[in-house]
Amino acid sequence: MRTARSTTRKDPLARLLTGLAALLGLVVLGVLCPTAALAQAEPRAPGARATGLHISDGRLLEGNGNDFVMRGVNHAHTWYPGQTQSLADIKALGANSVRVVLSDGHRWTENSPADVANVVAQCKANRLICVLEVHDTTGYGEDTAAGTLDHAADYWIGLKDVLAGEENYVIVNIGNEPWGNTNPAGWTDPTIAAIKKLRTAGFEHTIMVDAPNWGQDWQGVMRANAQSVYDADTTGNLIFSIHMYSVYDTAQEITDYLNAFVDAGLPILIGEFGGPADQWGDPDEDTMMATAEQLDLGYLAWSWSGNTDPILDLSIGFDPDNLSSWGQRIFHGANGIAQTAEEATVFGGGNPGDTQAPTAPGTPTASAVTATSAALSWTASTDNVGIAGYDVVRVSGSTETKVAASATNSVTVTGLTADTAYTFAVYARDAAGNRSARSATVNVTTAGAPAGTCSVAYRATNEWSGGFQGEIVIRNTGTTAISGWTLAFAFANGQTITNMWGGTPTQTGATVSVAPASYTSTIPAAGSVTLGFIANKGATNTAPTAFTLNGSACTTA
């Protein structure tokens, strides 16, 4: 289990304000943030109200003192209240926490006390720490539809009877991104007032506060005022949340910001972040995740499913077996959730006296092998206390790569490449973190991409130094309409799409996946749809030679 930060704190002499002013200056997008430095926070013992999750010495701890590092995702519950199965799906993929979007009724339909109680119960049933947030405050001061933090605080007070006694399981995130880019300095006083209002009302939970600048704090207001905001909470049980999107497109910006809080002894996590490039830039999610793991800081990726712009959907159509490339990165990539998440000990795990590892799982067997997935099952392991879950790894020589996690003795591995040989094995783990010996391996060769009822015509319609415009025509050669589709192909020469119309691209390296726009989502029998795009290129611009539609191979025209 995690018991301490993996980095060494600075000497208290580093609290000298002038020294920190030089240390903590941040240039983001060419703007120098305020130099009012984050002073080293005085260690503060948990207050009398710290009955559950609480802050101590800049760390989020459970009620028993165990260090808890959030590894989870955001879920848009208020817009999709029927998708409560998503909480179980998120847990099955290895998450230990989830940030749940709620509404206080200012902008969207208010989530009732009964609904919130059910969300908390579902989180607990699925052994997830639950961060609850009010989304109506998003972009206040710039977005005229946004609500105030004071209104959000009143909403939380109306939920006090629901949330009282849930301090071990629930963190209250007062308001999402509660200030836009207009006069972000106005964020500080309302944030302090909302914190005090909740404490005066008797809330004992850890409180989370989001940054201004639509959560990204690119002008450094939260960073400069974090100490005064933290000191306003008499219990000391306050954690700061930075949202990292296209502002954070270099490693230096990410490490500077997070280390500023760590060095000051102030608690922080990445409450939202994205990875796919968009019209504003290309976030450096690899550094975000690696730095969070290095510093033992939490992260919560945005978001499970249902985004207006599906480029940020981790799962496609709320289907846990259909992760996007962004979802694969978050759950199964380096420093991802399956690799780094540890379940909260409040759910019965993490017994420090348990040092006995589970027995090795049985040899996995494969079934339902397709071009892109394979179902694996194995004989369950045994343990003196109990099995917490299984990790499936791909074996390549002496290298192992974690590809899936499961709470049961079966899983479907997705995101595979057609006509490719794989070797898989399984580990069991218990709640104390003990891991079994590795199972024997199973060899699996995925099927070739099935022939589909489609053809694709690709051409560059215009080229210039460093870029080009392209066109893709997808034709339905079948006798029935295709409703909903995903087109996949790969570039050969490092081309990268920067803008597309008719579809939404997701690109990982050379591989491109395209989801349809609303007006191209249906391809009638014997009909076609056309996509256009702008892309960067080098000296060579070879056209892709293979395309699949919904996993089936298309002919090329």
Q: Which residues are catalytic?
A: 177, 272
Coil, helix or strand for 433? coil
Residue 99 and residue 127 in contact, taking contact as beta carbons nearer than 8 Å: no
Report the C-alpha gap between 425 and 378 in whole angstroms. 10
C-alpha distances (whole Å) from 483 to each of 305, 479, 520 are 19, 13, 9
Tokens matching residue 317? 């159509």
Give CA–CA dist 134/153, Å, rounded.
Answer: 9
DSSP 8-state class, residue 325: H
Taking alpha carbons only, the member of 114, 95, 108, 160 closest to residue 134 is 108
Q: Is 177 exposed, middle or buried (0-12, 13-18, 19+ CB in 10 A)?
A: buried
Amino acid at 251: A
Tally the C-alpha atoms within 13 A of residue 30's C-alpha that lie toward its C-beta: 0
Identity at 487, one-letter amino acid code: L
The torsion region of residue 480 among left (phi > 0), alpha (psi -120 to 50) and beta comes to beta
Q: Please, are residues 214 and 139 in contact by the beta-carbon 8 Å criterion?
A: yes
190 — phi, psi (to 5°)? -65, -30
Helix 221-231 and helix 188-200, axial crossing angle in degrees, nearest 10: 30
Tokens of 100: 């749940």
Q: Is the dihedral of CA 444, 448, 449, 451 positive or negative?
A: negative
- For residue 433, the tally of other CB atoms under 10 A from its CB is 18
**Residues 348, 38: Cα–Cα separation, whole Å:** 37
**Nearest Cα residue to 242 out of 299, 185, 171, 314:** 299
The SS3 of residue 415 is coil
Beta bridge partners of 475: 455, 528
- How crowded is residue 398: how many other Cβ atoms within 10 Å of its Cβ? 5
177: left (phi over 0), alpha (psi -120 to 50) or beta: left
- Distance separating alpha carbons of residues 382 and 365, to the nearest angstrom: 19
- CA 155 to CA 104: how far, in whole Å? 6
